[in-house]
């Protein structure tokens, strides 16, 4: 074997080893992780296993699906290829178009978010309404990465209104109080539904009753005078609605 052959063989071995070493950290970045998106109506979970397999499940009010399959590493993350599409884990097989189906997943940063600055985003190639809801990206599941939860005190903007994040603080109303589209008493008042999930039979009210639990997402940067009170407007989630405004004088933080 001449020196040229030895050199070429050594180079190819080193190149292949380098490729393996480079690929392994990418695989390790996802293998063994579980990504979860939870909300009041249900939960979506993606389990990425060490053997290049995965499971994805969604269970909510009126919509259920389950996938099992294999994933492969891509330059931007991982690609999911299901070999089982069912209406639930252990359930009846269905069209993959009724589940997550084939999907491309990877990390997505959002420094303007009120909630998290990093998500593990999975876009379905088969289902245009993967979670059964409409929106800007109905074919997308955004799994929040807990380590990147927005801390209280971060400066943000919500629909052009400068706000300060509250870290999803919990509170309750100390009086009957209206919810509005914008942080102003002149803004449109919204109806409150007693049910915590979409229900056409739920009673509609013109105010949120005293003692109702709310999640405070953010507040206005400055206090505002409303009648005899000077306080912040809070951006809250309550009942069936999220990102609506409530005057802070009538909210007790816990």
Which range among 8-12, 25-29, 66-70 has the greatest average pLDDT? 66-70
Is the pLDDT score of 97 beyond 70? yes
What are the structural domain ranges in the chain? Answer: 34-148, 155-253
* Confidence at residue 224, expressed as pLDDT on a 0 to 100 scale: 96
pTM of the model: 0.79
* Confidence at residue 239, expressed as pLDDT on a 0 to 100 scale: 85
Q: How confident is the model at residue 13 (pLDDT cuts 50, 70, 90)?
A: very low
The answer to whether the CB of 119 falls within 8 A of the CB of 108 is yes
> What residues contact residue 55 under an 8 Å CB cut-off, 6+ apart?
45, 46, 47, 49, 66, 67, 68, 89
Section 70-77 average pLDDT: 94
Q: How confident is the model at residue 39 (pLDDT cuts 50, 70, 90)?
A: confident
Per-residue pLDDT reduced to its tens digit, 135-178: 889 999 999 999 999 999 999 999 999 999 999 999 999 999 99
- Quote the tokens at residue 150: 């927005």
Percent of the chain with pLDDT over 70: 86
What DSSP letter does each residue of the chain carry, written as one string?
--HHHHHHHHHHHHHHHHHHHHHHHHHHTTTT-EEEEEETTEEEEEEE-TTSEEEEEEE-SS-EEEEEEEEEEETTEEEEEEEEEESSTTS-B--GGGSS-SEEEEEEE-TT-SSBSEEEEEEESS-TTTTS--SS-TTEEEEE-GGGBPPTT-EEEETTEEEEEEEEEEEEESS-B-EESSSSTTSPEE-EESSSS--TTSPEESSBPTT-EEEEEEEESS-EEETTEEE-EEEEEETTEEEEEEEGGGEEE-
* Confidence at residue 194, expressed as pLDDT on a 0 to 100 scale: 76
Q: How far apart are CA 233 and CA 170, in angstroms?
A: 15
Per DSSP bridges, beta strands 42-48 and 53-59 are antiparallel
Could you name the CATH architecture of 155-253? Roll (2.30)
Is the pLDDT score of 28 beyond 60? no
- Quote the tokens at residue 70: 């294999």
Q: For the ranges 22-31, 61-70, 72-81, 184-193, which has the lowest average pLDDT?
A: 22-31
* Confidence at residue 105, expressed as pLDDT on a 0 to 100 scale: 97
Q: How confident is the model at residue 198 (pLDDT cuts 50, 70, 90)?
A: low
* Confidence at residue 201, expressed as pLDDT on a 0 to 100 scale: 66
The answer to whether the CB of 114 falls within 8 A of the CB of 165 is yes
The size of the chain, in residues, is 254
Per-residue pLDDT reduced to its tens digit, 104-120: 999 999 999 999 999 99
Per-residue pLDDT reduced to its tens digit, 125-138: 999 999 998 888 99
* Confidence at residue 133, expressed as pLDDT on a 0 to 100 scale: 86
Whole-number Cα distances in Å, 186 to 210, 217, 222: 22, 22, 17
Is the pLDDT score of 63 beyond 50? yes
Nearest to 80 by CA among 52, 50, 109: 52
Q: How far apart are CA 79 and CA 197, in angstroms?
A: 33
Section 69-94 average pLDDT: 96
- Other C-beta atoms lying within 10 Å of the C-beta of residue 26: 14
Is the pLDDT score of 103 beyond 90? yes
């Amino acid at each position: 074997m001449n020196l040229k052959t030895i050199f070429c063989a050594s180079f190819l071995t080193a190149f292949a080893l380098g490729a393996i070493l480079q690929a392994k950290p990418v695989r390790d970045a996802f293998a063994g992780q579980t990504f979860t998106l939870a909300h009041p109506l249900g939960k979506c979970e993606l389990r990425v296993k060490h053997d290049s397999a995965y499971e994805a499940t969604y269970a909510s009010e009126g919509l259920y699906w389950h996938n099992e399959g294999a994933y492969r590493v891509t330059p931007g993350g991982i690609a999911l290829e299901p070999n089982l599409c069912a209406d639930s884990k252990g359930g009846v097989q269905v069209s993959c178009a009724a589940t997550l189906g084939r999907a491309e997943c990877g990390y997505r940063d959002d420094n303007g978010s009120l909630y998290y600055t990093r998500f593990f985003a999975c876009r379905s190639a088969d289902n245009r309404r993967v979670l059964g809801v409409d929106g800007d990206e109905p074919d997308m599941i955004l799994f929040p990465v807990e380590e990147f939860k927005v801390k209280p005190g971060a400066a943000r903007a919500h629909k052009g209104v400068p706000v300060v994040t509250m870290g999803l603080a919990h509170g309750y109303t100390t009086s009957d109080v209206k919810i509005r589209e914008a942080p102003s008493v002149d803004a449109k008042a919204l109806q409150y539904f007693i049910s915590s999930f979409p229900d056409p039979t739920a009673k509609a009210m013109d105010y949120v009753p005293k003692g109702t639990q709310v999640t405070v997402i953010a507040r206005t940067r400055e206090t505002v005078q409303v009648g005899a009170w000077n306080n912040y407007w809070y951006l809250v989630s309550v009942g069936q609605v999220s990102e609506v405004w409530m005057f802070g004088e009538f909210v007790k933080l816990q």
